[in-house]
A and B are shown apart, each in its own frame.
Chain A
Amino acid sequence: MKPDVLIIGGGLNGAALAIALARAGMPVTLVESRPLDTFTAEDFDGRAYALSLASKRMLAALELWPSMADEAQPILDIRVADGRPGEGAGFGAVHFDHAEIEEGPMGWIVEDRVVRRALIDRLGETPGIDIRAPARVVDHQTTASGAEATLESGETLRTGLIVACDGRESPTARRAGIHRIRHDYGQSAIVCAVAHERDHGGAAHQLFLPAGPFAILPLPGGHRSSIVWAERPALAARLRNAAEDEFLAALRPRFGDFLGPIRLAGKRFVYPLSLSLAERMTAPRLALLGDAAHGIHPLAGQGFNLGLRDSAALAEVLVEAARRGEDVGSPLVLARYGAWRSFDNTTTALAMSALDGLFSNDNPLLRLGRNLGLAAVERLPALKRRFIREAAGLTGALPRLLEGRPL
């Protein structure tokens, strides 16, 4: 018997989906081109994720949260401001305090290596997951009743459905003829951990600077924060290799001195920032998920959250279909996933792009407009509560896993 689902790509999203499906009794094969232990190496990735409340509930339902909880920093306050380097926050600063919604913290900051370790440990322990890593998929073919993926080794794997979790360049989507809408923001993100003297008190800061957004995300312990600093690519590359003193001298005017003296607390990483949206989320015998469907601007930290929302919806659609005996790779089943997810994904991606375009601009009129806009948000409690609930992932028709319920 051919396995029901073949997942290409064992990044955060491929791993989370494999666990969600296997726990609900659906056997899966997971193919990842890199050895899994490279992901948990200390210096693999400097990113920290802002996980929404809904994402955390899902990780809890998958029993992934307990091993991350101790290393997760609750976000108790989000401050969004429109500012220029060296200036204080504009009068339009917005302040989102978790006390304004009843669900508790608005999110948690968790470092990449912590999430990866939890996922990889669970992958190994969950029955029903056939892990092929390192193994690269080099080709795939579909017929009306199934699909077949060819590995670099020459081996072919048969399945009823391929789920492409192979990242924002998704070779699988390309082979299926799915076009992408791309936009290069002309920015790169510098990501690193910074140690500071004063306690951050669980506050996350988002600053809109002319070169692009700048975020300070609180890490556990109170005295370390992760920064995401968008800059022109040439400058970003120079800053990555600059001596620590020079780097800190450039960072200080942006970071400010509200947390006291700062120093570097880890390697610096640079990621190019672009938008890469697949035009469709499904093709015959194929579903796209995570960055393969939508690589968005990291503003507001929605990338992994969106991926988890995809996984929760796809797992629910597939598991329900399997339990009623449907062919899980059939167009009717895939259409349910597409309909559930495309709207959310497209609106989130476009909203992030629009926000960034609006804010990454030094035009004084625009600046005034957005200050007024932010001030309006600040003064309208209902609107503000909506933003907070949106950021916490609590809006829209929620799949069960996002409510923390098992499948």
Chain B
Amino acid sequence: MTGLRETIDPAEIAKFEAMADEWWDPAGKFRPLHMLNPCRLDYITRQIAGEFGRDLAAPRPFEGLRVLDIGCGGGLLAEPMARLGADVVGADAAEGNIHVARIHAAREGLAIDYRATTAEALAEAGEAFDVVLNMEVVEHVSDPPAYLAACHRLVRPGGIMVISTLNRTMKSFAAAIVGAEYVMRWLPRGTHDWRRFITPEELAALLGEAGFEVVDRTGFVFNPLGWSWSLSERDLSVNYAMTARHPG
């Protein structure tokens, strides 16, 4: 199959290009992702360990697994995966992000294959992975069904994709846009377009259409007292993730 239509939204990519230098500043524009990181890494690592029978207490538990971090930004998730022993490809449509990610990984002594490319181009090239991480990207693409179809081709049969995004509820509107962009000024105004947010039901349906089987879902819940995030099976009202398998 040839000629997959690119699903990148140039305006969205330009926004991320403009912030590229800030990826690794925990107090900078990507502070929400840094704060969310321990919680979502707990989810991701447990899903991978469970699916592939790995022991997280062992050294380099993900040795031998090929992982793609699609829309990797500065590599906030690609680096932990590499530390856990996985073979990691990090891909992002914004060149500036890839540049920053490469410099940071080199400084950390981590070998990560970073590429300025898109899901569609990778699928076209016939790449396949045991695990695809697809975190906080789908709300930024122009055509989610086409994007997820490309992602499906990137997961080898029997492999999994972990995907997270923002729910479209009044609470997420308040939290992500009013809270994070306007009140706390964590994010530049206009980083998110609430109308593009996707409800869990919509995401599950989209994943099904793309050929995935949803095997798990979780909410990420912010606790303002401890300034930390935790996982919740019930509360998917703001930020949530799903694990989907490519049956085969």
Binding site for B on A (CB under 8 A): 1-2, 24-25, 144-145, 320-327, 331-332
Contacts and interface: CB of A to CB of B under 8 A. Distances in A.
Given A25-B58, A25-B59, A324 B108 contact: no
B34 A327 contact: no
Nearest to A128: B59
A145 B45 CA distance: 23
Given A326-B38, A327-B83, A145 B109 contact: yes
Q: Which 3 A-B pairs have the closest CB atoms?
A: A325-B80, A324-B41, A325-B83
B107 interface: yes
B109 A332 contact: no
B57 A144 contact: no
Interface in B37-73: 37-38, 41-42, 45, 56-59
Contact of B38 (A1, A25, A144, A324): A324
Query: Among A2, A25, A325, A326, which residue has the most Cβ atoms of chain B within 10 A?
Result: A325
B80 A326 contact: yes
A325 B38 contact: no
A24 B45 contact: no
Given A24-B57, A332-B26, A324 B80 contact: yes
Contact of B79 (A2, A144, A327): A327
Contacts of A332: 26, 34, 37-38
Nearest to B83: A325
Contacts of B34: 332
Given A25-B58, A331-B26, A325 B107 contact: no
A324 B81 CA distance: 8
A128 to B, nearest CB: 9
Nearest to A331: B26
A331 B58 CA distance: 24
B13 interface: no
B81 A325 contact: yes
Given A145-B107, A325-B84, A326-B37, 16 more contacts: A25-B57, A25-B59, A145-B108, A145-B109, A323-B45, A324-B38, A324-B41, A324-B80, A325-B41, A325-B80, A325-B83, A326-B41, A326-B80, A326-B83, A331-B26, A332-B37
Contacts of B42: 324
Contact of A324 (B45, B82, B107): B45
A2 B109 CA distance: 9
Nearest to A333: B38
A1 to B, nearest CB: 8
A406 B34 CA distance: 28
Contacts of A320: 38
Contacts of A327: 79, 83, 108
A26 to B, nearest CB: 9
Chain A: interface secondary structure?
A: loop
Contacts of B79: 325, 327
A25 B60 CA distance: 11
Contacts of A324: 38, 41-42, 45, 56, 80
A24 B223 CA distance: 28
Nearest to A321: B38
A98 to B, nearest CB: 34
A325 B37 CA distance: 10
Interface string B197-235: 000000000000000000000000000000000000000
Contacts of A145: 107-109
Nearest to A27: B59
A2 B58 CA distance: 17
9 contacts: A2-B109, A145-B109, A324-B45, A324-B56, A325-B81, A326-B38, A327-B108, A332-B34, A332-B37
Contacts of A331: 26
Contacts of A322: 83
A323 B57 contact: yes
B101 to A, nearest CB: 14
A1 B110 CA distance: 10
Contacts of A323: 45, 56-57
Report which residue of B38, B58, B82 has the largest number of chain A beta carbons within 10 angstroms of its beta carbon. Answer: B38
A326 B84 CA distance: 9
Nearest to A145: B107
Interface in B96-129: 107-109
Interface string B125-136: 000000000000
A397 to B, nearest CB: 10
Nearest to B82: A325
Given A2-B109, A145-B107, A332-B34, A325 B45 contact: yes
Contacts of B57: 24-25, 323
Contacts of B26: 331-332
